[in-house]
Amino acid sequence: MQDLNLMALFAQVSETGSFAEAARRLGTSRSAVSKAVARLEKSLGARLLNRSTRHVSPTEVGAAFAEHCARILNEAERAERLVASLHGQPRGTLRVAASVAFGTLHVAPALADFLARYPEIDVDMTITDRPVDLAEEGFDVVIRVSRDLPGNWVGRGLAPVRRKLCATPDYFERHGVPNVPQDLTVHNCLDYIHSGEPGLWRFRGPEGEIAVPVSGRLRINDDEALSQAVLGGLGLALLPTFIIGQDLQAGRLRAVLSEYIPIDQHVHALYLPTRHLPAKVRTFIDFLVNRFGPKPYWD
């Protein structure tokens, strides 16, 4: 496989029929061009040029080689222009994976506005809570709720995830309102299975971290399903406001002990490390940052 620079040099010599003119166009010396062609002939094992004192012309082999060189160089230039255009302007197909709850409730509703703003971008989105391999599966961006970024990925925080300990007003009328975390031991606490410590809820107050053992009649592996049980008046649960924000604002749910619950998670837009982030990816992440921001609309 020959060096593209040597092929470009030979194409210039073949086109101009002169070492001197090719050197002038390439900004180098005549002798440098002559030596480069000689190296190319030696590498290929074929004479490419007929030389005279005033003129050079391609041999039959040289003419065929020059034609292919021109074609290859033209394709290389087109490839460079394609990469520049894709990086410079937001266009192409954007492959996104998003967690089920956040993707359904907040990313999907944002797509109509995003696609209207950027008519040269198409979105291929997968809604899933399973672990996603960006490199293997070809995703450009993964939207996840997490405490920390995975070690081999980079990303940007889109919004804080605030959790509220909540129940219906009717539940509190029947069972009383907890004033400190320790009061939860006598309440029906509905647990999220993937919380990491089933039956143990952690809070942070003026006296530091508090671990409270809780019990309840229901455990669920999905926050949206858990919120439905809470709305039904069954008990209390720690739920993200991106799911229950409207219910809190409408008074269907009431939050308690908010001063004891820290922000320990964020919604992240994750992508593989790269020196040149494609414009379609950068534009999408900027759009979501502006849409959600440090004070999300659901709060």
Cα angle for residues 129, 132, 135 (degrees, 5° grid): 165
Q: Is 251 left (phi over 0), alpha (psi -120 to 50) or beta?
A: left
Q: Give backbone dihedrals phi and psi of 39, rounded to 5 degrees, phi first.
A: -65, -40
Rounded Cα gap, residues 71 and 85, in angstroms: 21
Q: Is the pTM of this model over 0.75?
A: no
The yes-or-no answer to whether 92-160+265-292 and 163-260 have a common fold is yes
Q: Give backbone dihedrals phi and psi of 109, rounded to 5 degrees, phi first.
A: -65, -20
pLDDT in tens, 220-231: 999 999 999 999
Domain locations in the chain? 4-88, 92-160+265-292, 163-260
Residue 210's beta-bridge partner residues? 203
CATH code at 163-260: 3.40.190.10
CATH topology assigned to domain 92-160+265-292: D-Maltodextrin-Binding Protein; domain 2 (3.40.190)
**Beta-strand (E) ranges in 195-264?**
200-205, 208-213, 219-220, 237-240, 254-256
Q: Give backbone dihedrals phi and psi of 264, rounded to 5 degrees, phi first.
A: -125, 10
Which residues neighbour 5 within 8 Å (Cβ) at sequence distance 6 or greater?
A: none
Average pLDDT for 228-241: 96
Q: How confident is the model at residue 173 (pLDDT cuts 50, 70, 90)?
A: very high
**Whole-number Cα distances in Å, 66 to 8, 10, 107:** 9, 7, 53
Max Cα distance, the chain (Å): 107
Chosen CATH of 4-88 out of 3.40.309.10, 3.60.15.10, 1.10.10.10, 1.10.600.10: 1.10.10.10
Q: How confident is the model at residue 26 (pLDDT cuts 50, 70, 90)?
A: confident
Percent over 90 (pLDDT), the chain: 53
